[in-house]
Homo-oligomer: A and B are copies of this chain.
Amino acid sequence: MTTPLGPLGDLPADEMRAALHRMADWVADYRETLEGRRIVPEVSPGEVTAGLSPTMPAVAEALPVILRDLDHIVMPGVVHWGHPAFLGYFGSTSNGPALLGEIAAAALNVSAMTWRTSPAATELETVVLSWIRELVGLPASFMGIVYDTASVAVLHALAAAREEALSQVRGRGLAGRTDIPVLRVYASDQAHSSLEKAAIVLGIGQDNVVRISSDARHRMDMAALAAAIARDRAEGMLPLAVVATAGTTTSAAVDPLPAIAALCARESIWLHVDAAYGGAIGALPEGRALLDGMERADSLVVNPHKWLFVPLDFSALYTRRAEALRRVFSLVPEYLRGAASSDAGGTDRGAAIDYMDYGIQLGRRFRALKAWMVLRAFGREGITSRIREHCRLAQAVAERVGREPDFAMATPVSMSIACFRYEPAGVSHESADRLNAAIVAAVNASGAGYLTHSTLDGRTVMRMGFGNVLTTEAHLDTVWRHVVAESRRLGATHGD
């Protein structure tokens, strides 16, 4: 592994094999030592850059030199999202089988744009999407497609909604038209901000994302939603879509899907359900009821890279209106015509779908492979037992909060998310806000645990989310000890 690349080909076969084995050990070592690492590195902006050459090397460098720099320059700047005490965001989702799938997909490096250019990637995508659909409890009338992220998925969903609601938008656009009213999209004040990005891109406008107030449990207020829609209609605006959330980012709240679905049906409004995180709860028999009504959605996104143990990136959009999605995005250029499955004489179109007809991207990685390996290696039972354990760990946070003076849950635990707050007597709400943020920062700075803060009911709260198969109650205990210690320490100096 000391020879640089051959004059024009690739690494010689024996060196490539040796390098792959060396990398296998690197990965195995990484996973074995992960728990002993600081989660957040002690690194300042510019520090990684300072170790890197500002210019590209003129001539080939040997792999051992590059791998040494990986260890000595890159790794000291890595936040270890896969550490079992990393309880930020929605937790890391990688694991052994997932990694093997990533490696195989990288080796194949195919693009799943059409069936013809990628029969296996296309069919595996369809099969895996049907497994996930069934796992979360969606009916077979939903067609799926894999995108990279939920932000891209909601963009596609709203593009389809726009196409369904308005004529000739695909061709004529929205600009300069007097026949198109202001478009409105509704979501609770707890919904993910990716919706705003989609509205901006689609020409709907950020101001036309109507944030509906939520109730005491952070669920969209139905009366407020109905009133907003009525008011907008009265003003001549067009209610285009409601984005309901099943598992909000801060507290895993679930909007009242049956009522929203009924309203959307009555009003002929597209219903998109953001179940990017929460969709996974449908895998539990006891969790399925939380998602009641989702089967009436026009589209729904679930991110296996959030809570179904598939690594970044893998977001699944399901829709009952696949033809609308296809009407927006199908454009087969001549140089792909021969590759399009619709030209595969006598071929049943359903069996040979060209996923590029349903989305923006033409270059599409073989993402289904890692998902297929994860779902098989875990099995339904393995997936559900881990999701159940994550929910139990969130409840275990609530128990600890209940036992600790000056701590209180900010809202009851939902799914695998626990939001709580430290508010010692004699400290104002505002001061406690700063204190809670400071506690999170201090715990994270310790390197031993990681959590995030967020805002709930106008107050700053601490938040733990569980999603890593390596996380046990012992890891929770470690993070919790740091939270309590930092609370006491910082609380003592954070008077008004």
Contacts and interface: CB of A to CB of B under 8 A. Distances in A.
A178 interface: yes
Interface string A48-65: 110010111111110101
Interface string A101-133: 011101111110001111111011011001100
Given A45-B119, A49-B351, A351-B46, A173 B104 contact: no
A375 interface: yes
Among all A-B residue pairs, the 10 with the closest Cβ atoms: A173-B205, A203-B203, A77-B120, A176-B182, A174-B203, A102-B106, A45-B352, A20-B24, A11-B96, A17-B28
A156 B315 CA distance: 20
B197 A331 contact: yes
Given A49-B351, A312-B109, A385-B7, A27 B104 contact: yes
A404 B360 CA distance: 41
Contacts of A369: 70, 74
Interface stretch (A262-270, A291-299, A451-459): A451-459
A322 interface: no
Greatest chain B CB density within 10 A among A55, A81, A99, A328 is at A99
A176 B182 CA distance: 4
A273 interface: no
Interface in A343-390: 344, 347-348, 351-352, 360-363, 365, 369, 373, 375-382, 385-386, 389
Given A11-B97, A45-B351, A174-B175, 9 more contacts: A20-B99, A56-B131, A58-B379, A79-B110, A149-B361, A201-B201, A313-B365, A338-B440, A338-B452
A21 interface: yes
B169 A203 contact: yes
Contacts of A148: 148, 361, 363
Nearest to A117: B79
A95 interface: yes
Contact of A119 (B43, B155, B176, B381): B43
Interface in A232-259: 237-238, 249-250
A203 B202 contact: yes
A284 interface: no
Contacts of A126: 49
B111 A335 contact: no
A73 B26 CA distance: 30
A194 B362 contact: yes
A92 B75 contact: no
B470 A333 contact: no
A441 interface: yes
A185 to B, nearest CB: 10
A24 B26 contact: no
Contact of A360 (B104, B155, B469): B155
Given A237-B176, A335-B249, A78 B381 contact: no
Greatest chain B CB density within 10 A among A45, A121, A134 is at A45
Contacts of A373: 66, 70
